[in-house]
Structure 1
Amino acid sequence: MGVPHFLVIPYPVLGHVNPLIQLSQILAKHGCKITFLNTEFSHKRLKTTGAGLDNLKGSKMRFVTLPDGLSPEDERTDQKKVALSIKANMPSMLPKLIQDVNDSDVNNKITCIIVTMSQCWALKVGRHLGLKGALLWPASATSLALCDSIPSLTHDGIIDSSGLPIKKEEIQLSPNMPMIHPENFPWRGKDELHFSLHVQEMQTIKIAEWWLCNSTYDLEPEAFSISPRIVAIGPLMASDDSTRSSYWEEDTTCLEWLDQQLPQSVVYVSFGSMAVMDPNHFKELALGLDFIDKPFLWVVRPSNDHKMSNAYPDEFHGSKGKIVGWAPQKKILNHPAIACFISHCGWNSTIEGVCGGVPFLCWPLVKDQFVNKSYICDVWKVGVELDKDENGLISKEEIRKKIEQLIGDEGIKARSLKLKELTLNNIAEGGHSSKNLKSFISWAE
């Protein structure tokens, strides 16, 4: 048999594109062929920043595109609109694309499709064409186990048919898992249509024989026990950080700036590629960073979105810090100058922070970030949470207090380094995730 040839199709947001690029790079190193399918709009944005894609153009990897069905002027911040347009337009075009790819390499035709959530329609197309199918879930195994449990959560009267909580107290999916409030389920805050699309998607992903997860068995053992179909292949840490794709130009001057700082002195702040921060919280964060007697590195994404017009308060000096539009996060989290990571607890950031051995200051905003925060603070004990005051505000005083508490906690520092070692062992030769990946490649041939 020839080597597996994977057609990989991420949903066009960075939190899906990046893990799939990392997985593709790892598969390519194992000798597999990769055809990477972006939407035209997403691909163009990735190319204009020059980030990642050019470094990936090796013999084993090629990029192809299909239109998402929206016009260039359409606003793509509405994810429901993007998902529905993709679903209405791309399925009919995919068979021809597969045929064209196969015609161009007759001896090495596509054998397997890997998708992320919201692109599961491609698994149906693939099945009609006799191709194998797999899912790469870009969040935690726990959030996938929760989504897989929607029928039983509905049956047990914990949520209603729209995904909204009926019960107002915390639940445990399994005895050794963190307590989770139904308000903080991964589909939190979605409307009824979005939830019904989510439920349909969970039905469609059952076509995928493998549910690959960027996690490790040690990080969330119970989640893997609840849903045996979920397979740990993380942490997806391709050795070369230049493969990280971005919709914004990375400001690498921050690495030179970090080189000038003392070891474990810098507070790193980033809320990922999609999180939108309330303007009042943005102001408190700015003042809180000014308040502390430490240098800080703060990622504030460039935005044309009026909802994200971040206004720095007049009294903000920022003289001890460096503010950048976008940054090479993995390199930063592995830099000796970093003391802690103020994070929204998105799963990619969580895994990268764990692999950097960095203590977390947790500020979850939406969806699965609350579950991830529970793991960081309550299960792994490598971070602390910022608490809101009686007005629902995280104040500058709270930010200063928790940073000082976190940086002074030797126990958290020690556990962070131990967790880093434990997590990275999974991708060493003979490690748990490493073995799982080899089994997956053998199956896909």
Structure 2
Amino acid sequence: MYDSNDNPHLLIYPFNASGHIIPLLDFTHHLLRHGLTITIIISSSNLPLLHPLISSYPSSLHKLLFSDPDPDHHPSPHPLIAKVIATQQMFDPIVRWFQSHPSPPVAIISDFFLGWTNELAAHLGIRRVVFSPAGALGSSIFHMLWRDLPEINALNGDRDESFLLSLPEIPNSPEFPWRQLSPLWRSYKEGEPNFESFRKGVIGNMTAWGIVYNTFEDLEGVYIDHMKKQIGHDRVWAVGPLLPEEDGPVGRGGSSAVPRDRLLMWLDKKPDDSVVYICFGSIERLSEKEMSVLTSALELSNVDFILCVKTSDLKFIPSGFEDRMSGRGLIVKGWAPQLVILRHRAVGSFVTHCGWNSTLEGVAAGVMMLTWPLGADQFANEKLLVDQLGVGKRVCEGRPENVPDSVELTQLLDESLSCDRPERVKIKELSQTGIKAVKEGTSMRDLDMFINQLCEH
């Protein structure tokens, strides 16, 4: 068994995107609470995200600070590929740091985009653990598509956007029209060095010593079991939802564009389950047409709402909308403390892009979800929420050509706050199982097993 007095040292390497960094920092928090020593690789631009943890664990959390790798030196057909490939220039600096450290780490935990750290871990003679910021379903699809990419591409040689791709290898045999597959995957160019390097890393994830998922058995048990079968061992741990208790530390994820106290004061004035929260994550953006339909529906509806809008999208907000909605609607122009909002008693439904962090936060808060996926793994997460778990209702399937009628959207918004909706009953039940999982159930068990197995070596 693991003895916390041994104080083993781990190296943690997140991918430089807030949707990837925040859940890995939440996991880091759990590891620190168990007495481990952590060094985290972080760029200066993301250092503020680390401050809440550093202030809580000044003696056991250390930072390995580097400047952001420059993707411009690694031109690629897709900007994300260039960004991932650029991180490989960290190989030698990490090796030098490791070799000069008086008590170097016994393992590296790195994001699933950073598959090249498998080779780094082998070079250092330590174990590599994959941290997946996607759920087990999204991750299984992601890895299968990259593994079988040439064969799947050959099935749709004409690149027909409506071509239906069936994935019978994965439980429940999910199907996706070609247009719903990630542009990252669809832009693959066979033989292009950076794409092939990225693909090699993704496939390499399946040979890592273990995989940690921010999920729980009652949410994705069948897909967790599937991944265990795919990699051929049981070192797959579901430790989520990895969310702070209560409202979490101030500054988690970044500084709010609206003071937390002001948000809470606004929500405190609203009746229970009377507010719709609308947010599309840290990356996805709505088009002008999509924003027009959304704001029209909000104006026609009877709901109170909080609308989170990126500063770059404010130009799409209709003139006078904010004034007309004064008192009934609150617009957050930039980053919002989403978990604080979702956990408030006044919030009854959540219009979401179905990013995995938002999915988990909505589930944990017990808030019915109105799904509007836009890309990446979001269409898979929508299938999980709507078709398999019955805790969400479809609003829109992607981009402008599929934008709903504003009158239909108005009806969905109004109906989402109805207390007798079956989705609302089911999400409350699922929320309770998630809370139990981390406090005394399967996720607590898996976290303890992970630490024990890692530290035995």
TM (normalized to structure 2)?
0.84
Aligned counterpart in structure 2 of residue 192 of structure 1, from 185, 188, 191? 188
- Three-state SS of the structure 1 residue aligned to 2:307 is strand
User: Percent identity, aligned pairs only?
Assistant: 25
What does 1:7-406 correspond to in 2, within 5 Å? 7-43=11-47, 46=49, 52-70=52-70, 78-87=79-88, 89-100=89-100, 102-103=101-102, 106=103, 109-150=104-145, 153-154=148-149, 158-160=152-154, 168-169=163-164, 171-173=166-168, 176-177=171-172, 179-183=174-178, 184-185=180-181, 190-193=186-189, 196-228=196-228, 229=231, 230-239=236-245, 241-242=248-249, 245-251=252-258, 252=260, 253-303=262-312, 308=313, 310-314=315-319, 316=321, 317-319=324-326, 320-324=328-332, 325-387=334-396, 391-406=401-416
CA shift, 1:283, in A, is 1.9
**Which residue is equivalent to 1:419?**
430
Structure 1 distance, partners of 2:146, 2:54, is 43
Structure 1 residues 407 and 196: CA distance shift in structure 2, 3 A: farther
Structure 1 residues 373 and 165: CA distance shift in structure 2, 3 A: farther
Structure 1 residues 259 and 322: CA distance shift in structure 2, 3 A: same
- Three-state SS of the structure 1 residue aligned to 2:387 is helix
Structure 1 residues 163 and 127: CA distance shift in structure 2, 3 A: farther
Superposed CA offset, 1:83-134 (max 9, x none): 22222x211211122234x33xx4xx31110000222323321221111110
Structure 1 distance, partners of 2:157, 2:127, is 31
Q: For structure 2, which runs of at least 5 residues remain unmatched after alignment?
A: none
- Three-state SS of the structure 2 residue aligned to 1:399 is helix
Structure 2 distance, partners of 1:364, 1:381, is 16
Structure 2 distance, partners of 1:403, 1:442, is 47
Structure 1 residues 392 and 413: CA distance shift in structure 2, 3 A: closer
Structure 1 residues 164 and 142: CA distance shift in structure 2, 3 A: farther
Higher mean displacement: 158-167 or 393-402: 158-167
CA shift, 1:12, in A, is 0.6
| 1:22 alignment partner AA | D
Structure 1 residues 255 and 227: CA distance shift in structure 2, 3 A: same
How many residues of Structure 1 are paired with residues of Structure 2 in the alignment?
Answer: 427
Superposition RMSD in Å: 3.0
- Is the contact between residue 387 and residue 398 of structure 1 (CA under 8 Å) also seen in structure 2? no
- Is the contact between residue 38 and residue 65 of structure 1 (CA under 8 Å) also seen in structure 2? yes
Superposed CA offset, 1:255-294 (max 9, x none): 2211111111111011111112112101221222222112
- Three-state SS of the structure 2 residue aligned to 1:150 is helix
| 1:223 alignment partner AA | Y
Structure 1 residues 226 and 254: CA distance shift in structure 2, 3 A: same
Superposed CA offset, 1:200-242 (max 9, x none): 1222223421111111122122212222044311111232611
| 2:94 alignment partner AA | L
Higher mean displacement: 198-207 or 211-220: 198-207
- Three-state SS of the structure 2 residue aligned to 1:425 is helix
Structure 2 distance, partners of 1:68, 1:434, is 34
Structure 1 distance, partners of 2:55, 2:157, is 42
Q: For structure 1, which runs of at least 5 residues remain unmatched after alignment?
A: none
TM (normalized to structure 1)?
0.87
